[in-house]
Amino acid sequence: MPCLTIAIANQKGGVAKTTTVSELGELLSQQYHKKVLMIDIDPQASLTSIKGDMNDIIINNRKTMSNVMLRQSSIDEIVIPIKTNLYLAPATLVLSDVELNIINATLRELILKAALNSMLGSYDFVLIDCPPSRGLLTVNALSASDYVLIPIQAEYQALLGLQLLKNTVANVQSQINKELKVWGYVVTMTTRTNQSSDTLNEIKKDHYPILSTIPRSTKVSDAGVANMSTYEFDTNNPAGSAYLKLSEKLIGLEM
């Protein structure tokens, strides 16, 4: 089967983008035995901090996504094996300078796509953790992807600015990547409150589907510390089960 590349994007921070990438990466690789590459293209480097060894990367001056985006390294050169079937292309805070450095680069929106083209046959899934912005790094991720998955927190403020992200996606679809599809929303950190329920109802008015709702749970962060999926950490946890069902739907996209 061809590799599927998924950008996990939302310009709002704190909506569980990184958690969603980590959960899907763990589930696809460990439960379904798919070969998965997680790409950290967020200068905050949260995914790298969770899944990789940031001290080792910094102390040993290892190559990262900054080098890839500056066309100094291939992705193969920077990939770190995390566990069986699961790999990470890491980032550091240095990535925050890259957008300024590539703003005048030739085909600047397609740097990541070009870097991925040579190694897509090596993986079943590529999951891209996007920064909380609509800048060049996010545009590169969208330009290189087959689908975009939009995590959104179950609170009213999370809806603010969502149209701007949708505009960015539409611009990429019309001008750069006509094959890009919006897979849908994953509503995160849901609670049994009126605000959470009202937010869900607002999202349902959109023409993009809600693929999953993830209940708020402390077990999600506990599982991240333990370097495993929430489902593996606690098979009875509702959030873990919800992420498992989301991963099943992602497997369905392969068919």
Give the pLDDT confidence score for residue 156 in this predicted structure: 77
d(Cα 9, Cα 184) in Å, to the nearest integer? 11
Domain residues for 105?
4-254
Give the pLDDT confidence score for residue 70 in this predicted structure: 97
Give the pLDDT confidence score for residue 255 in this predicted structure: 64
Regions of the chain with pLDDT less than 50? none
Give the pLDDT confidence score for residue 38 in this predicted structure: 98
With residue 200 as reference, give the H or E element that holds it.
helix 194-204
CATH number of the domain where residue 174 is located? 3.40.50.300
Q: Of the candidates 174, 198, 184, which has an alpha carbon nearest to the alpha carbon of residue 8?
A: 184
For residue 33, CA distances in Å to 4, 26, 249 come to 15, 10, 15
Would you list the DSSP string of 68-96? HHTTSS-HHHH-EEEETTEEEE---TTHH
Place of tokens 């897979």: 183
Quote the number of domains for the chain: 1
Within 10 A of 119 (CB to CB), how many other CB atoms are there? Answer: 15
Give the pLDDT confidence score for residue 121 in this predicted structure: 86
Give the pLDDT confidence score for residue 1 in this predicted structure: 63
